[in-house]
Amino acid sequence: MARANKKTCSRICANKNRAGIKYGTKRPYDKVRNERTIKLRVLEIRGGKCERCEYSKKQILHVHHKDRNHSNNSIQNLELICPNCHYEEHYLEKSWLNDTVQH
């Protein structure tokens, strides 16, 4: 700790502390902190394909928040889906479009 205003011994400890503060827990590894980490974690747990249609190009898969709350990054709230399925999910929720567009 070279500087007097440092509160932790290293960048790693600072990141752990910051994650604990942000998520209200002292177990920062229970939460995921950024989009890349979230996607890697969901890919690891759910496999490398869309959970709806089984499309398998990992690089373009999206992580969808089931409850629409982007702060809720619990694994149970996350779904790995392809861009087409993700678009359908959000497009179909707009009921006004269903009234004006015939399929």
Higher-confidence position of 96 and 19: 19
9 or 96, greater pLDDT: 9
Which pLDDT belongs to residue 28? 46
Strand (E) or helix (H) holding 83: helix 83-92
Q: What's the mean per-residue pLDDT of the chain?
A: 79
List, for residues 75-99, the tens digit of each pLDDT value.
999 999 999 999 999 888 766 555 5
Long-range CB pairs of 63-69, under 8 A, 24+ apart, other chains included: 63/35, 63/38, 63/39, 64/89
For residue 60, what are the contacts with CB-CB under 8 A and spacing of at least 6? 82, 83
Domain ranges of the chain: 1-31, 35-100
CATH class of 35-100: alpha beta
**Confidence at 1, pLDDT banded by 50, 70, 90:** very low
* pLDDT tens digit sequence for 49-75: 999 999 999 999 999 999 999 888 899
Beta strands in the chain (DSSP E): 62-65, 78-81
